[in-house]
């Protein structure tokens, strides 16, 4: 393992490791010799040196916050450290000056409506003074995007007039005033008080057909509430829904197997796709019925088992398949009994075997199969 | 340009210590069962099966002038512990000094400073000693720590980790990574002196030339072996968690991350958050045991109509059990509907739907789990301005999308990015989601 970190690691650890090793070797030769690790004069001396190194490295990286933190350690560990004493006020002044310069520039750029330069300057300022919450809030609330605007009620204002004034926030229709009412827990007809501050949710991009409002809101130099960017999303709703639609078409065409497989594929990608879930259940119900009709009872039971237990008729379908398996097995068993009574032991054996294939748990077939086989073999030996 | 190294790239930590997949070549399901057994976790539960008397775990060795304190973790089966000690490594019962009837703390005095003492410890129940044993060592020192106004300096003992030092000295285990960053160390070496900053010195992770990013990973379903896009097989998940451990990442709680986003907390330079969506039972069976093994915090976003609605969903009892075991439970709405306004939906009806999706989710969480959610994950990541405003009104402090990418502090708290991890992702795919610093917006 190579690391620049390890170059700063103090000799103490190495010394301790060597002592452990030495103690192990000595221990092999003599009984319980003491493994004495002689710590350096000051066990914290290497840490002190390392913090000095880190302070200098942070200065080299022009990172005053971290340089201050490491020099501060050095000074607290040794209040007489002349370098730390000298460096700290200089670094603190540098950080404060830089922060003030960038914040001033950032707020000024914001006032001019220059969003990009304002953002960059405020961000740089925070690298020197992360405690400036005004800068943090300006970046997060005004420059990155706002979902809520504050509106101070003026004399004569009504909810409808406020909505009218909020067109750039997406209030294209006076009826949308109900959003402001609801958001601020105002009853219909409740009088507004001048000076009262209302929260106005931004509606740009909210309504399915709000494209023109987005366009107008994006004009102008200041940060306007634009629709949240439609970036590629890992949930591909459109693709999943399209495939679920195709599966539905296959279902309508009674292509149950294909429909179930396609719906299953959609659910692998989007396990909560309700359409796909519905299609998969319906398709498996149809496929199970087809298999029942073809007297493929075990296969039918297997397919019904893939349907959600809460799906309508699923339990009945499973019961029906099980019942048909039992009926079919019973028919085969009765046939075997008839062959047996007629001394047709070869066919009796075949029928009992067929019975057990349909229903391996048939209560009588395995016992009767053994008797039939035994009798047949004895008769063959007598012949 | 994106950088995957921490913002102080001039002094990076060690190169990635990749270890070959321990499960390679073994039937995945068997490997999963073996892993779970090794983790002390039953495959379908949280508590491990009843087993033989186990050796005690030593949670800490505290050194002082001429003395060592061995502090054991609780072992419900043991009546007491037996300690064997020697000043030679490889301590043997036959040749060591034996001390019986030791309680939860072994106060060993009259020792020589600078000498390493080696211990072997067994648990005792009904006069029977455990076959398993724990070994540990420690070195008494004249001065084990120094306390300064803004820092502590401590000598690390063998049982210490950065996290345990943070827990002991800052009462905040999640600050371990910050201590590691401040000392610029790859690993904690026994008997090495370490500085512990008592206060954050760079909340938000800014430097003049770069800004910190924190990736938030999202999982959905897990399985024993076979996966698909939304289902991560157990062996893949285990490898990914090990990758984080081997490459120096610190998995931090969601609440710490949100405090970082508000510029109110310093988190380790290589921080990652783990979230799981929906409330699938497979998280309980296969995901949680892995997180428990690695000691990683996680957040489960549950939509409250899901538990007990389906055989593949968690029960509320299981959600509560996970919560009791440290999994952070948060809101994923009531029904998991797409929160964007749908065609034909009236505004009044839409507003009511949003209120219910948020309000009912919070109320049911309170009733069923006893928690008050503060964070929301948008179903499908879908949102708009009104959804965000309504989420804020419902009292959510932060909300999460599934836009892929890591987060600087300055992103909107209501549009936090998360990267979905899929079944079949390669190590490279996984690594691509772990960007921890960037500088593009400063240029």
Chain A residues in contact with B86 by the CB 8 A cut-off are: 32
According to the model, what pLDDT value does residue A306 have? 85
Q: Tell whether the model's pLDDT for residue B60 goes beyond 70.
A: yes
Q: Measured between alpha carbons, how far is B203 from B178 in angstroms, rounded to an integer? A: 11
Most A CBs within 10 Å, among B98, B188, B229, B389, to test the A interface: B389
Q: Measured between alpha carbons, how far is B330 from B280 in angstroms, rounded to an integer? A: 14
Strand partners, B196: B152
Q: Measured between alpha carbons, how far is A177 from A163 in angstroms, rounded to an integer? A: 5
According to the model, what pLDDT value does residue A13 have? 41
Q: Measured between alpha carbons, how far is B16 from B364 in angstroms, rounded to an integer? A: 44
Residues contacting A380, CB < 8 A, separation 6+: none
Q: Which two tokens stand for residue B204?
A: 């938000």
Using 50, 70 and 90 to split pLDDT, how confident is the model at B229? confident
According to the model, what pLDDT value does residue A231 have? 54
According to the model, what pLDDT value does residue B47 have? 37
Interface contact flag, A206 B228, Cβ < 8 Å: no
According to the model, what pLDDT value does residue B112 have? 92
Core vs surface per residue A111-132: b (16+ CB within 10 A) or e: eeebbeebbbbbbbbbbbbbeb
According to the model, what pLDDT value does residue A295 have? 79
Chain B residues in contact with A123 by the CB 8 A cut-off are: 206, 211, 410, 441-442
Interface contact flag, A36 B155, Cβ < 8 Å: no
Alpha helices, DSSP H, located in chain A: 4-8, 11-29, 45-60, 64-77, 82-111, 115-128, 133-137, 159-165, 177-183, 211-218, 237-252, 256-269, 274-293, 297-304, 314-341, 345-358, 365-382
Q: Tell whether the model's pLDDT for residue B3 goes beyond 80.
A: no
Residue A203, helix vs strand vs coil: coil
According to the model, what pLDDT value does residue A305 have? 85
Using 50, 70 and 90 to split pLDDT, how confident is the model at B359? very high
Residues contacting A1, CB < 8 A, separation 6+: B14, B15, B17, B186
Residue A352, helix vs strand vs coil: helix
According to the model, what pLDDT value does residue A325 have? 84
Total-model pTM = 0.75
According to the model, what pLDDT value does residue B364 have? 98
Nearest to B229 among A5, A147, A269 (CB): A269
In the predicted model, what is the mean pLDDT of chain B? 87
Higher pLDDT, B343 or A3: B343
End-to-end CA distance of chain B: 10
Angle in degrees, CA B344, B347, B350, rounded to 5 = 80
Provide the angle, in degrees to the nearest 10, between the axes of the packed helices A64-77 and A115-128: 10
Higher pLDDT, A291 or B398: B398
According to the model, what pLDDT value does residue B349 have? 96
Instruction: Report which of B313, B288, B307, B297 is spatially closest to residue B368, judged by C-alpha positions.
Output: B307
Q: Which residues of chain A have pLDDT under 70?
A: 1-40, 145, 188-189, 209-239, 383
CB atoms within 10 A of CB A30: 8
pLDDT tens readout for residues B246-295: 999 999 999 999 999 999 999 999 999 999 999 999 999 999 999 999 99
According to the model, what pLDDT value does residue A9 have? 43
Q: Tell whether the model's pLDDT for residue B409 goes beyond 90.
A: yes
Residue A380, helix vs strand vs coil: helix
CA atoms in the 13 A half-sphere facing the CB of B40: 9
Chain B residues in contact with A43 by the CB 8 A cut-off are: 141-143, 155, 193
Closest-CA residue of A relative to B188 is: A13
pLDDT tens readout for residues B299-328: 999 999 999 988 889 999 999 999 999 999
Q: Tell whether the model's pLDDT for residue B14 goes beyond 80.
A: no
Closest-CA residue of A relative to B18 is: A1
Q: Tell whether the model's pLDDT for residue B203 goes beyond 80.
A: yes
Instruction: Report which of B282, B371, B292, B384 is spatially closest to residue B331, judged by C-alpha positions.
Output: B371
According to the model, what pLDDT value does residue B27 have? 40
Using 50, 70 and 90 to split pLDDT, how confident is the model at B228? confident
According to the model, what pLDDT value does residue B22 have? 28
Angle in degrees, CA B328, B329, B335, rounded to 5 = 155
pLDDT tens readout for residues B22-34: 223 334 444 444 4
According to the model, what pLDDT value does residue A142 have? 74
Strand partners, B218: B275, B420
Interface pTM, i.e. ipTM? 0.82
Contact status, residue A348 vs residue A340, Cβ threshold 8 Å: yes
According to the model, what pLDDT value does residue B247 have? 95
**CA–CA min distance A76, chain B (Å):** 6
Q: Measured between alpha carbons, how far is B215 from B257 in angstroms, rounded to an integer? A: 10
According to the model, what pLDDT value does residue A4 have? 37
């Amino acid at each position: 393992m190579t690391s620049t970190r390890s170059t700063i690691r103090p000799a103490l650890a190495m010394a301790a490791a060597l002592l452990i090793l030495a103690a192990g070797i000595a221990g092999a030769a003599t009984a319980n010799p003491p493994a004495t690790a002689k710590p350096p004069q000051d066990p914290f001396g290497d840490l002190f040196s390392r913090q000095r190194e880190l302070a200098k490295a942070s200065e080299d990286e022009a990172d005053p916050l971290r340089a201050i933190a490491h020099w501060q350690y050095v000074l607290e560990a040794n209040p007489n450290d002349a370098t730390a004493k000298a460096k700290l006020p200089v670094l603190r002044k540098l950080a404060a000056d830089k922060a003030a310069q960038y914040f001033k520039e950032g707020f000024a750029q914001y006032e001019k409506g220059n969003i990009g330069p304002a953002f960059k300057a405020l961000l740089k300022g925070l690298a020197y003074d992360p405690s400036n919450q005004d800068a943090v809030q300006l970046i997060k609330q005004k420059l990155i995007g706002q979902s809520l605007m504050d509106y101070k009620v003026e004399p004569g204002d009504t909810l409808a007039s406020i909505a009218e004034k909020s067109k750039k926030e997406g209030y294209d229709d006076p009826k949308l005033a109900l959003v402001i009412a609801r958001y601020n827990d105002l009853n219909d007809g409740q009088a507004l008080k001048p000076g009262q501050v209302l929260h106005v949710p931004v509606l740009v991009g909210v309504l399915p057909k709000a494209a023109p409002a987005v366009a107008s809101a994006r004009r102008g130099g200041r940060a306007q509430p634009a629709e949240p960017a439609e970036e590629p999303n890992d949930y591909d709703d459109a693709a999943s829904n399209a495939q679920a639609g195709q599966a539905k078409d296959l279902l309508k065409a009674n292509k149950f197997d294909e429909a179930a497989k396609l719906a299953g594929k959609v659910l692998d990608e989007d396990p909560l796709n309700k359409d796909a879930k519905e299609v998969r259940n319906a398709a498996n119900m149809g496929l199970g019925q087809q298999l029942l009709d073809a007297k493929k009872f075990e296969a039918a039971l297997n397919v019904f088992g893939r349907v959600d237990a809460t799906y309508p008729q699923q339990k009945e379908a499973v019961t029906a398949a099980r019942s048909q398996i039992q009926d079919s097995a019973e028919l085969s068993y009765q046939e075997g009994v008839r062959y047996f009574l007629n001394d047709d032991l070869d066919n009796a054996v075949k029928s009992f075997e067929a019975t057990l294939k349909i229903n391996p748990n048939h209560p009588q077939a395995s016992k009767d199969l053994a008797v039939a086989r035994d009798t047949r073999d004895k008769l063959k030996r007598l012949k | 340009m994106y950088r995957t190294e921490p913002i102080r790239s001039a002094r990076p930590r060690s190169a990635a210590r990749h270890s070959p997949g321990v499960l390679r070549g073994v039937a995945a399901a068997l490997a999963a069962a073996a892993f779970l057994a090794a983790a002390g976790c039953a495959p379908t539960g949280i508590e491990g099966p009843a087993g033989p008397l186990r050796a005690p775990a030593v949670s800490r060795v505290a050194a002082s002038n001429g003395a060592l304190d061995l502090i054991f973790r609780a072992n419900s089966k043991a009546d007491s512990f037996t300690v064997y000690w020697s000043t030679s490594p490889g301590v043997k019962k036959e040749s060591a000094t034996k001390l019986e009837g030791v309680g939860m703390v072994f106060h060993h005095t009259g020792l020589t400073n600078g000498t390493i003492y080696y211990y072997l410890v067994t648990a005792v129940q009904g006069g029977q000693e455990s076959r398993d044993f724990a070994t540990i060592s420690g070195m008494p020192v004249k001065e084990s720590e120094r306390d300064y106004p803004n820092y502590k300096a401590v000598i690390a003992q063998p049982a210490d980790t950065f996290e345990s030092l943070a827990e002991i000295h800052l009462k905040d285990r999640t600050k371990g990574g910050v201590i590691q960053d401040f000392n610029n160390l790859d690993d904690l070496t026994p008997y090495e002196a370490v500085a512990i900053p008592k206060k954050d010195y760079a909340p938000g992770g800014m430097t003049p030339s770069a800004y910190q990013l924190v990736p938030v990973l999202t999982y959905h379903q897990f399985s024993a072996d076979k996966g698909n896009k939304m289902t991560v097989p157990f062996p893949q998940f285990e490898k990914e968690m090990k990758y984080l451990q081997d490459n120096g990442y610190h998995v931090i709680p969601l609440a710490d991350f949100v405090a970082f986003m508000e510029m109110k907390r310093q988190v380790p330079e290589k921080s990652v958050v783990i979230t799981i969506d929906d409330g699938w039972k497979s998280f309980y069976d296969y995901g949680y045991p892995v997180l428990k093994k690695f000691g990683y915090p996680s957040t489960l976003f549950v939509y409250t109509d899901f538990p007990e609605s389906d055989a593949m969903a968690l029960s509320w009892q299981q959600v509560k059990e996970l919560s009791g075991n440290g999994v952070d439970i948060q809101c994923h709405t009531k029904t998991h509907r797409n929160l964007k306004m749908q065609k034909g939906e009236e505004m009044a009806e839409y507003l009511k739907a949003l209120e219910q999706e948020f309000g009912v989710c919070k109320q049911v969480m309170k009733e069923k789990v006893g928690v008050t959610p503060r964070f929301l994950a948008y179903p499908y990541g879908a949102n708009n301005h009104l959804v965000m405003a309504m989420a804020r009104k419902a009292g959510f402090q932060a909300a999460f999308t599934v836009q892929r990418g890591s987060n600087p502090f300055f992103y909107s708290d209501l549009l936090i990015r998360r990267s979905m991890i899929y079944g079949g992702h390669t190590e490279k795919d996984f690594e691509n989601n772990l960007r921890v610093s960037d500088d593009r917006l400063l240029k």
